[in-house]
Amino acid sequence: MMFETDSRPGSEFCVPLALTLLLAALAANVFAADPLPSWNDTLPKKAIVAFVEKVTHEGSPEFVPVVERIATFDNDGTLWAEQPVYFQILFALDRVKALAPQHPEWKSKSPFNKLLSTPKEQMVPVTEHELMEIVVAAHSGMTTEEFEKTVKDWVATAKHPKTGKLYTEMVYQPMLELLAYLRGNGFKTFIVSGGGIEFMRPWVERVYGIPPEQVIGSSGKLKFEMRDGKPVLLKLPEVDFIDDKEGKPLGIQTRIGRRPIAAFGNSDGDLQMMQWTTAGPRARFALLVHHDDAQREWAYDRQSQCGKLDKAWDEAVAKGWTVVSMKDDWNTIFPK
Amino acid sequence: MMFETDSRPGSEFCVPLALTLLLAALAANVFAADPLPSWNDTLPKKAIVAFVEKVTHEGSPEFVPVVERIATFDNDGTLWAEQPVYFQILFALDRVKALAPQHPEWKSKSPFNKLLSTPKEQMVPVTEHELMEIVVAAHSGMTTEEFEKTVKDWVATAKHPKTGKLYTEMVYQPMLELLAYLRGNGFKTFIVSGGGIEFMRPWVERVYGIPPEQVIGSSGKLKFEMRDGKPVLLKLPEVDFIDDKEGKPLGIQTRIGRRPIAAFGNSDGDLQMMQWTTAGPRARFALLVHHDDAQREWAYDRQSQCGKLDKAWDEAVAKGWTVVSMKDDWNTIFPK
C-alpha cells in the first residue's frame, strides 16, 4: 500500500503513514515475540528452535508433514514435579484415608493399618509391594465416572506438603510454553506417562491443553457391566498395562501407531521411548530434563527413587540428545 | 450491501447488481449442496442431519462443544464389506501361503497342510480354533514395520474373490460421505473395530481420512527388542486385546477417554459400544447398517457367521436407534 504524505506536523495526511509505521512495528514485534520466554538463550532452547524450524520449513530436506509431527511427553518430572514421591501416590494415600470408614477391616490389616495410624506429617514406612496394594485399593472398586470425580475433587483441593501449592500449580512453565510452541507449529502433543491414565485425564486438558485421547498411561483392567439397564465401566484391582520403560514404545505403537519425531522425558523410564523416537529416519529430537535446582525445585538424578536418571543420562550424552539443566536453562520453574 | 442500480440494459451500473445476484446464487448453491448425495431422502439421512444440526447449533440446548464431538465407527460391515468372510481372514490365508516356503514343517502340520493343499477357489474346511492358529501365524513373528509393509502390499494388489475389486474399493460410499460430513461439522472420527489395529492402520488414513491415532482395534502382544543397536517392536503370537462386544466400550475408555456422542455399527459386536454411547447425557446418536441388498452387496443378519445382527437389531428397534436399509436408504454402495 502507498500513501501520499505531507511533512507538516499535525497534518491529516500524516495519519495513514503513522498508522502504517505503527502496524509495521507491531507486526515485527509479533514476529519477534519469544515463544519460549522462560527458557534462557542457552543450548537447549536453540536446539529446540532449530529442530522445529527445520521440520516445519517447507522445501527443507528435513521437512515433516503436519500429520507426522507427533511429540510425546513424559509427565512426572517432565511436565510437573515428582518429589518427595509421585503425586499419584499422595493421592492414593489420601484416598485410602477417605475410604477407611467403609473398610473397617483395614484397621487390623497391613499395610492399611500402618498408613491409617501414622500422623499426616510423618512418612509411612512401606515396602514397594505394600505401596502397590495401597495404590490398587485406591484405584479400584468404583466406576470410571466415580473415579474421575474423585480425581477432580482431589486436584482442586489437595496441597503439596512442601510448597503448599495445588499440584496442578507445580507444572513447569517452560514446558507449558514448549507444548504451546510445538502445537503452534502443527505438532500433536501426547502424554506418554507411567502414571495412571485415569488419574491424568481429568485435569491435563485444562492444565496442558492435551485432550484425553492424547494421553497414554498405565491402566488397570475394566469391566463392562449393566446396572439397572445402564452400562458402567468398573475399575478392577488388576493391572492391565504399565506404560514405563519398554512399555512406552509399546504404548506409542498400540495407541498412536506412528513413531514420534520428538520425545521429552527426565528419567530412565523414558529411555526406550527416546531410543524408539530417535531411531526413525530423518530429523528426530530427544530432550531430558535434569533436576539440578535444589533452590527452586529439587536436585536428584542417579540415586533417586522417583525419577532416577542414570542410564538415560549416559545415553543422552553419548548420542548428543539435549539435556536441560533446570538451574541454568530455565529462568522460571512454576507458573506465577 | 446496497447498490445504486440503473435499469438501462448494458449500463455499467448493472454490473455490480448482476455480480451480486450471481454471487448470491452461487452462495445459495453451496449452501444447498447435499453433503450426503448417496443417501436417499429417507428417515436415516433425516435423522443424521437433524442430530448434527442440533449438536452443532450454538445456543441450542443440545449444543456439544467441538472437543466432545467424538464419533466411533465399526469397520467390518460398517465402513467396508465383510463377506464371504472378514477380509483380514483372506489376508491371513494369503500370508500363510506366502510364508509356506519358510515353514517346511507346515506341510505335515494341521491346519496349515489343509490350507496349503486346497486349490485357491475352494473353501478350506477349518474349525474356529484352526482359523485362529492361521491368523496368529500370519500376524506374528515379524517386526511391526515388516508387518505394515506386508499389509500395504496386500491391500494394493489382492482382489476380492467375488467382485474382483481391490478390498479398499469395497468401502461404502455413503459412509465415506458421512465421515466427511461429520468431520466438516467438527467431529473427530474414530474406528473402533474387532479387526486388527495393525491390519487397518496402513490404509485407513488414505481411504477413510482417519489417522492411525484414531484407530482402535484388536491387537497382539508386542516386544521391545534391540537389534544391532536399533530398537524394533516384535509381534508376538499372543492376543493382547479383543476390541469386540464388551471390549469396545473398554477400548473407547482406555484409548479415547471420552464417551462418544455418536456410534455407527452393523452387528451384535457393536451393541455394547452403542449402549455405552447412548447412555451418556444429552443428545446421542446410534446407527446400525442392515445388509439387506443381495443384488448390490449381500443380504444377511440374524444367521450370519460374519457380522451377525440379532440382539443389536432388537435393541435398536426397542430404543429407536436408526437402522439403515442398504437397499432402500443408499442409492450407491461402492465408490464409482
Q: How confident is the model at residue A295 (pLDDT cuts 50, 70, 90)?
A: very high
Q: How confident is the model at residue A125 (pLDDT cuts 50, 70, 90)?
A: confident
Q: What sections of B86-245 are H helices per DSSP?
A: 87-99, 112-117, 128-139, 144-157, 173-184, 197-208
Rounded Cα distance between B299 and B327, Å, is 9
pLDDT at B233 over 60: yes
Burial group, residue A221, by CB count within 10 angstroms (0-12, 13-18, 19+): middle
At which residue does the C-alpha cell 511533512 appear?
A7
Q: How far is A217 from chain B (nearest CA, A)?
A: 9
Q: How confident is the model at residue B150 (pLDDT cuts 50, 70, 90)?
A: very high
pLDDT at A160 over 80: yes
User: B201 and A253 in contact by Cβ < 8 A?
Assistant: no
- Which carries the bigger pLDDT value, residue A64 or residue A20? A64
Peptide bond just before B174 cis, omega within 30 deg: no
Rounded Cα distance between B326 and B290, Å, is 6
Radius of gyration of chain B (CA): 24
Strand partners, A171: A80
Rounded Cα distance between B146 and B139, Å, is 11
B52 in helix, strand or coil?
A: helix
B238: number of Cβ within 10 Å: 11
pLDDT at A3 over 50: no
Chain A residue with minimal CA distance to B148? Answer: A257
pLDDT for the residue numbered B2: 34
pLDDT for the residue numbered B6: 40
**Who among B205, B231, B258 is closest to A272 (CB)?**
B231
HSE at residue B209, side-chain half, CA atoms within 13 A, is 13
pLDDT at B3 over 60: no
pLDDT at B13 over 50: no
pLDDT at B9 over 50: no
Rounded Cα distance between B190 and B126, Å, is 33
User: A254 and B205 in contact by Cβ < 8 A?
Assistant: no
Chain B residue with minimal CA distance to A232? Answer: B276
pLDDT at A27 over 80: no
- Residues in chain A with CB shorter than 8 Å from the CB of B231 are 249, 272, 275-276, 279
Q: How far is B4 from chain A (nearest CA, A)?
A: 28
What pLDDT, in 10s, does the model give residues A164-197?
999 999 999 999 999 999 999 999 999 999 999 9
Percent of chain A with pLDDT over 90: 82
- Residues in chain A with CB shorter than 8 Å from the CB of B249 are 224, 231, 233
pLDDT for the residue numbered A234: 98
**Who among B213, B222, B253 is closest to A256 (CB)?**
B213
User: B253 and A215 in contact by Cβ < 8 A?
Assistant: no
Contact (CB, 8 A) for B313 and B292: no
- Which carries the bigger pLDDT value, residue A126 or residue B301? B301
Taking alpha carbons only, the member of A276, A267, A278 closest to residue A248 is A276
- Which carries the bigger pLDDT value, residue B31 or residue A285? A285
Strand partners, B218: B196
Q: How far is B222 from chain A (nearest CA, A)?
A: 7
User: What is the grid cell recorded at B195?
Assistant: 479387526
pTM over 0.80: yes
What are phi and psi for residue A193, nearest 5 degrees? -125, 150
The mean per-residue pLDDT over the stretch A271-286 comes to 97
pLDDT for the residue numbered A4: 37
User: B276 and A249 in contact by Cβ < 8 A?
Assistant: no
Task: Return the amino acid letter for B28.
Answer: A
The mean per-residue pLDDT over the stretch B180-195 comes to 98
The mean per-residue pLDDT over the stretch A248-261 comes to 98
Chain B residue with minimal CA distance to A214? Answer: B256
**Who among A67, A205, A246 is closest to B224 (CB)?**
A246
What pLDDT, in 10s, does the model give residues B109-121?
989 998 888 887 7
What pLDDT, in 10s, does the model give residues B49-96?
999 999 999 999 999 999 999 999 999 999 999 999 999 999 999 999
User: A253 and B233 in contact by Cβ < 8 A?
Assistant: yes
pLDDT for the residue numbered A239: 93
Chain B residue with minimal CA distance to A144? Answer: B253
pLDDT for the residue numbered A31: 56
User: What is the grid cell recorded at B327?
Assistant: 437397499
- Residues in chain B with CB shorter than 8 Å from the CB of A214 are 213
pLDDT at A9 over 60: no
Alpha carbon B23 to its chain's center:
38
pLDDT at A205 over 80: yes
Residues on B contacting A at a C-beta cutoff of 8 Å: 67, 70, 144, 188, 197-198, 201, 205, 211-215, 219, 222-224, 226, 230-231, 233, 240-241, 246, 249-250, 253-258, 272, 275-276, 279
The mean per-residue pLDDT over the stretch A242-257 comes to 97
**Who among B70, B219, B224 is closest to A272 (CB)?**
B224
Q: How far is B317 from chain A (nearest CA, A)?
A: 16
Mention every residue, 6+ apart, whose C-beta is less than 8 A from residue B331: B38, B39, B40
pLDDT for the residue numbered B122: 77
Interface test with B, best of A142, A253, A273, A276 (most B CBs within 10 A): A253
Taking alpha carbons only, the member of A216, A287, A283 closest to residue A252 is A216
- Residues in chain A with CB shorter than 8 Å from the CB of B230 are 279
User: B211 and A272 in contact by Cβ < 8 A?
Assistant: no
At which residue does the C-alpha cell 540415586 appear?
A303
- Residues in chain A with CB shorter than 8 Å from the CB of B144 are 253
Q: Output helix, strand, coil percentages for chain A, rounded to the nearest 5.
A: 45, 20, 35
pLDDT for the residue numbered B17: 60
Of A7-11, A49-53, B325-329, the least confident: A7-11
- Residues in chain A with CB shorter than 8 Å from the CB of B211 are 67, 258
Describe the crossing of helices A43-56 and A173-184 by its angle, rounded to 10 degrees: 20
Contact (CB, 8 A) for A139 and A91: no
Supply the DSSP string of B40-80, one letter for each residue: -SSHHHHHHHHHHHHHHSTT-TT---GGG-EEEE--BTTTB
pLDDT for the residue numbered B220: 95
- Residues in chain B with CB shorter than 8 Å from the CB of A272 are 224, 231
HSE at residue B62, side-chain half, CA atoms within 13 A, is 14
- Averaged confidence pLDDT in chain A: 91
- Averaged confidence pLDDT in chain B: 91
